[in-house]
Amino acid sequence: MNFEISKEPIDIQSVIDKVVQREAGAITTFIGTVRELTHGKKTLYLIYEAYESMAVKKLEQIGTEIKERWNGAEVAITHRTGKLDITDVAVVIAVSTPHRADAYEANRYAIERIKEIVPIWKKEHWEDGEEWIGNQLETVAYPKGKPEAEDLNE
Amino acid sequence: MNKIMFFAHLRDRVGEESVTRDVSGKTIAELKQLLEEEFGLMLDSVMAAVNEEFASDEEVIQNGDTVAFIPPVSGG
């Protein structure tokens, strides 16, 4: 179970432990946290909602893409759902590879792909209202009906 | 019959997590138009998934397929 959606707080070490391998010279860990200020606006808390069964499949797909691009990589990703307060951990990505440069690159790739293809949404709650947030990458429509790998670096 | 699922602001608008309709034989584009009329949704920039895989507007829905409408995602 390297790819999970969790309603409970994420145990960061357990995600890291999944990618430990004798061949690895590096493990990078990305921890996404809930930020208080976005463009000067104060967030009180977030609600994350997922299409859980599909989200797990899409996280697995990201893992497969990484293994194809970076030899010897191991990947584990857990994304939280439900109500999260400021500073709470929303996502943890661990990548191990034989050499450190690949571990950094592959980890960055994972978070960018999550923001493209994994069906998870956040609802921001502010002092004066609430709104579902979409389109973080400012790419409104996907011309081919789904995000393409090439979209990543745009 | 087909299960049609909604998420994020679409779920708020429809007032249900899912509805059941017989839409087999229709394309995703045709279904989008029906739902826009029935629920007043804007589905232009919304992706669809059939049985948990992204689908194009031209894909034809089969009996028993689960169709989900996926607004631009905001995880991470």
Q: CA–CA separation, B48 vs B67, rounded Å? A: 7
Q: What is the DSSP string of A83-143?
A: EEETT-EEEEEEEEESSHHHHHHHHHHHHHHHHHHS-EEEEEEETTEEEEE--TTS----T
Are A41 and A126 in contact by the 8 Å Cβ rule? The answer is yes
Residue boundaries of the structural domains of chain B: 2-70
Contact B75 A79 (CB under 8 A): yes
Q: How far apart are CA B49 and CA A145, in angstroms?
A: 10
Which A residues, 93 through 112, put their C-beta within 8 Å of a C-beta on chain B?
111
Ordered DSSP codes for A52-68: HHHHHHHHHHHHHHHHH
Whether B8 and A91 lie within 8 Å, measured CB to CB: no
d(CA A117, CA A149): 10
Cβ atoms of residues B6 and B17 within 8 Å? yes
The whole-angstrom distance between B39's CA and the closest CA on chain A is 18
Query: How far apart are alpha carbons A125 and A83 in whole angstroms?
Result: 10
Is residue A152 pLDDT above 70, yes or no? no
Q: What is the pLDDT of residues A51-101, one digit of tens each?
A: 999 999 999 999 999 999 999 999 999 999 999 999 999 999 999 999 999
First to last CA, chain B: 34
- Within 8 A by CB and 6+ apart from A138, the residues are none
Among A36-40, A72-76, A116-120, the minimum mean pLDDT is found in A36-40
For residue A122, the chain B residues in CB contact (below 8 A) are 74-75
- How far is residue A18's CA from residue A15's CA, in Å, rounded to a whole number? 5
**Residues A95 and A83 sit within 8 Å (Cβ to Cβ):** no
All residues of chain A having their beta carbon less than 8 Å from the beta carbon of residue B9 are 132, 134
pLDDT-based confidence at residue A135 (cuts at 50, 70, 90): low
Q: In angstroms, rounded to a whole number, what is the distance separating the alpha carbons of residues B58 and A15?
A: 39
> Which CATH homologous superfamily contains domain B2-70?
Beta-grasp domain (3.10.20.30)
- Using CA atoms, how far residue B33 sits from A110, B24, B57, in Å, is 34, 15, 11
Sort out which chain B residues have CB atoms less than 8 A from A50's CB and list them: 75
Which of these, A145, A136, A67, lies nearest to B54 by C-alpha position? A145
Taking the CA of residue A65 and the nearest CA in chain B, the distance in Å comes to 16
Q: Kindly report the nearest CA distance between residue A59 and chain B, in angstroms.
A: 11
What is the DSSP pairing of strand B66-70 with strand B2-6?
Answer: parallel
The structural domains of chain A, ordered by start, are 3-134 (3.90.1170.40)
Residue type, B72: P
Summarised one tens digit per residue, pLDDT across range B34-55 is 999 999 999 988 999 999 999 9
Average pLDDT, chain A: 90
Angle at the Cα of B68 from the Cα atoms of A81 and A125, rounded to 5 degrees: 35
pLDDT at A143 over 50: no
Q: Is the ipTM beyond the 0.90 threshold?
A: yes
